[in-house]
Amino acid sequence: MRPADARLDQLLGTGSAAFRATFDLVPDPVGVLWALRDSSGAVIDFETGYSNPAMDRMLGVPLEQTFGRRLLEETPAFRDDETFKRMRGVVETGTPAVVETAVESRAAPIARIAGVFVHRAIPFGPDAVMNLITDITAQRRLETELERYAKVAAHDLREPLMAMRLFVEQLATGLERGRDERNELLLESLRRTNARARLLIDGIMEYARHGTAMDFEKVDMAALVADVLESLTAVLSETGASVEVAVLPTIHGSSAQLSRVLQNLIANSLKFRSDAPPRVKIGAELSAEAWLFTVDDNGIGIPPELGDEAFAMFKRAHGDDYAGCGIGLAVCRKIVEAHGGAIVAEPAPGGGTRVRFSLPSVAARVMAPVPSTSE
């Protein structure tokens, strides 16, 4: 049973039941914070009061565990946070505030949250603030993706289209001579450029398909990696590769999308191999906020100066020496970020490449290890 907020009953009287019944149905998080004042009347802290079920879901903590807690008493550093200052100003001035704010996962009262939110702080009687929260993380991510698409279409597709136009003009001029060697070369150039343009378009479509409309569930990462390795049996055997898999956790995410991340990373390790047989190591460790996964290989490595550019669409770290359009790591980043994580690539100790990515540790637990190698 959800705890009753006596101060809410005192403020609204018989209307408090209707208030709770109404806001319990609101799909966005709603919560009341009661101001605590010092002897001079200044607001020195807030205590949690009523919140609706949507707030429980956002925080990942039920009301029974969040009710009646003092924010600064639990997290003194929150005093300097803009959110605290905003709510204190609303209570002291009686003026509502509406702000879009990006929140990184960090130590905060009650729970850790991360994303982009619209925070509406409304005066609620003389000593409280009502907070209405709208999560717009997905919307802002989509806007960023659309901007990225526009830049890719404007930049990467312009070159092959301009080249094709030039070849067509040259071919039209040369057709008066019939099919000679020069015209045949122009036709071959047109075919190659057309294939390149189609590869870029296919890459954009693949990028668009991943990291959106995901159904989250419990994902056994050990079983997922085993399935990925089974799908790569042929190339593992062909390259003489071995894959060492440590104990992996169960996390909350999209099985299909995370499978694509691991498949892309392992396939890259096999593709960009050195003269030695490929060796891939996959592990995970739990930090305060997330599981940190690591994929190491002994391949040709990644240029250290590339940095975050390695995850840009159509970025090919090794130029035209290898087939592909440079979309694999971009897809990995999109999927990992859609899970609330981050991904980086860097030279591995002793040579090769190390890719690390984080996934939130909510509902995570360690599972039994899968067999240590796959050859």
CA distance 61 to 45: 21
CA dihedral 25, 26, 27, 29 (to 10 degrees): -120
Shared-domain flag, residues 160 and 84? no
Tell me, what amino acid is at 41? Answer: G
- Find the helix packing angle between 328-338 and 255-271, rounded to 10°: 150
CATH code assigned at 61 = 3.30.450.20
Please give the structure tokens belonging to residue 224.
């997922």
Would 151 be classed as within a structural domain?
yes
Shared-domain flag, residues 19 and 95? yes
Shared-domain flag, residues 298 and 170? no
Domain that residue 350 falls in: 214-375
Contact 92, 129 (CB under 8 A): no
Shared-domain flag, residues 59 and 198? no
Domain boundary at 145, 178, 209, which? 209
CATH code assigned at 158 = 1.10.287.130
Would 337 be classed as within a structural domain?
yes
Helix (H/G/I), strand (E/B), else coil: 326: coil
Domain boundary at 80, 101, 135, which? 135
The pLDDT tens digits of the residues spanning 55-96 come to 888 887 777 888 888 999 888 888 888 899 999 999 999 999
Shared-domain flag, residues 179 and 269? no
Residue 243's pLDDT is what? 94
Contact 203, 314 (CB under 8 A): yes
Shared-domain flag, residues 130 and 269? no
Contact 310, 345 (CB under 8 A): yes
User: How many independent structural domains does the chain possess?
Assistant: 3
The pLDDT tens digits of the residues spanning 270-303 come to 888 888 999 999 999 998 778 999 999 998 887 7
| Phi, psi (degrees; rounded to nearest 5) at 278 | -60, 135
Nearest to 322 by CA among 281, 283, 375, 267: 267
CA distance 130 to 153: 45
- Find the helix packing angle between 328-338 and 181-209, rounded to 10°: 10
Please give the structure tokens belonging to residue 95.
């003026």
Domain boundary at 102, 135, 168, which? 135
Helix (H/G/I), strand (E/B), else coil: 373: strand
CA distance 200 to 174: 29
Shared-domain flag, residues 237 and 164? no
Q: What share of the chain is helix, strand, coil (3-state, %, to 5)?
A: 45, 25, 30
Helix (H/G/I), strand (E/B), else coil: 117: strand
pLDDT per position in the chain (375 positions), as tens? 678 899 999 999 999 999 999 999 999 999 999 999 999 999 999 999 999 999 888 887 777 888 888 999 888 888 888 899 999 999 999 999 999 988 775 545 555 677 889 999 999 999 999 999 998 887 887 777 666 666 666 556 666 667 777 777 776 666 666 667 777 777 777 777 776 666 666 656 656 665 555 678 899 999 999 999 998 888 899 999 999 999 999 998 888 889 889 998 998 898 888 889 999 999 999 987 789 999 999 988 877 776 677 776 555 555 555 554 567 788 888 889 888 888 998 888 888 899 999 988 753 333 333 333 444
Shared-domain flag, residues 146 and 248? no
CA distance 162 to 197: 11
CA distance 270 to 229: 12
